[in-house]
Amino acid sequence: MTSPQPDRLETTVDNPLRDEERQRARDELEARLRHRGAALDGAESDSEVLTLANAVDAFERAVMQSGGDLMVDTPESSRPDNPDCVLPQRRADESATEYARRIQDAVERIGRVP
């Protein structure tokens, strides 16, 4: 009888502590995303949540490097200083992957602005 491979073992054996850590990290990322104005629909995988968090972080870095103000250029602002520095809003029919790609496109646009 052969023993299961290590990565296969982790996926087949319940590990409540690992599940709790994963869920805690996911909850934290989701809260940060919502606080920053990124919409989540609850159907995102762990990987998609992480991809979105990375895209939003890159967007915020680009805004700051371009001289934008994250306190003024928010999705809730009726008069942002620079609309290009407002995090794009997720469309109702947009997957998390498509949304992250659109945020990354906005990062690239901000980086090209003189």
* Residue written as token pair 């606080």: 35
- Which structure tokens are listed for 22? 């994963």
Cα distance between residue 100 and residue 54, in whole Å: 9
Instruction: List the structure tokens of 69.
Output: 């103000």
- Residue 95 clears pLDDT 80, i.e. is over it: yes
Alpha helix positions (H), the chain: 6-12, 16-35, 46-65, 96-112
Model pLDDT for residues 26-74, shown as the tens digit of each residue? 999 999 999 999 999 999 999 999 999 999 999 999 999 988 888 877 7
Residue 29 is predicted with a pLDDT of 95
CB 37 within 8 A of CB 76: yes
In the chain, what are the domain boundaries?
Answer: 16-112
Burial class (CB within 10 angstroms; exposed 0-12, middle 13-18, buried 19+) of 57: middle
CB-hemisphere CA count at 13 Å for 10? 5
